[in-house]
Amino acid sequence: MKQVLRVKIYQPDAHYRIPFSYQRRFTYPIPPYSTVKGLICNVMGIKSSEDERFKKLKQGLSLAIYGTYESLVKEYLWFRNLEKDSHISKFKSVKNRIIDNITQHPGEQMPVTVDVLHNVDLIVYVYHPELMEEIKEVFENPSDRLSTLHLGRAEDWIVIKEIDMINVIKDNVSQLSFFAWIPSPADIDDELIPDKENYKNFYSQVNGNLFRLPTYYEITDSNQRIFNQYIEVKLFEKGSFRKKDFYVDSELKIPLFFAKMRAD
């Protein structure tokens, strides 16, 4: 019987930013894979892509992510651009901060609306053929963590509610009361589905908006983070679907949709 790691997480507030949303910053209802992978690297104390444990993660990590939230609130903020060129463009001098005889903030600023989720409950399932026990241990005792444990923004700290190794069983289910990422047949972990053709049929029929979520990135010579690997998914927004056989959490009866994080 196969086992996977289940981590239950609570967040008072969270924002999982949808890329290319600026003046109104939209959020996913659950964190994308790259955000959860970043949390795992944080608790393991992995500082560099040259770390041997990171190389192992890239070759065997699979994730399944589920969640709910109580409410969504729009926060109104001022974002400031503190780049030197932006300041000069507005004030015509590095030292000047006065326009129309009024002292202003440095650089440009603009009002921004940020969507923030409140009272978020997440369930993250982790599978790795070699590192699951180590990942479980560092979640239980994150003594080597690189920063405060968070998901999304740095201020979106998390509470670890439960960490367990659980059994995976085969069952016939037709409902899911969580938001969930459902990977495409090309990105599902074949080891953790009973039948690939059955899954292809399920994926073609299940309702959900299509997304292309980033997983891995490279740092350019100019110190920019450029994502170069992606996973295609549907965002399932709770509800029922046509009954099929899945591998499920033996306790919670949640169908498990593991996406392969394995890098090319």
**pLDDT of res. 248:** 96
DSSP state of 157: B
- Tell me the pLDDT tens digit for each residue of 72-106: 999 988 877 777 777 677 767 767 766 766 676 67
pLDDT in single tens digits along all 264 residues of the chain: 689 999 999 999 999 999 888 778 999 999 999 999 999 999 999 988 888 998 898 889 999 999 999 999 999 888 777 777 776 777 677 677 667 666 766 766 778 899 999 999 999 999 999 999 999 999 999 998 999 999 999 999 999 999 999 999 999 999 999 999 999 999 999 999 999 999 999 999 999 999 999 888 776 666 666 777 889 999 999 999 988 899 999 999 999 999 998 765
Residue 79, H or E segment? strand 62-81
**pTM, to two decimals:** 0.89
Fold of the domain spanning 3-80+110-260: Alpha-Beta Plaits (3.30.70)
Mean pLDDT of the chain: 89
- Tell me the pLDDT tens digit for each residue of 19-31: 888 778 999 999 9
Q: How far apart are CA 158 and CA 152, in angstroms?
A: 10
Closest CA to 121 of 7, 247, 253, 208: 7
Q: How many percent of the chain have pLDDT more than 70?
A: 91
- Tell me the pLDDT tens digit for each residue of 176-198: 999 999 999 999 999 999 999 99
Asked if 181 contacts 203 with a C-beta cutoff of 8 angstroms, the reply is: no
**Domains of the chain, residue spans:** 3-80+110-260
DSSP state of 188: B
Q: For the chain, how many residues are written? A: 264
Phi-psi region of 45 (alpha: psi -120 to 50; beta: other; left: phi over 0): left
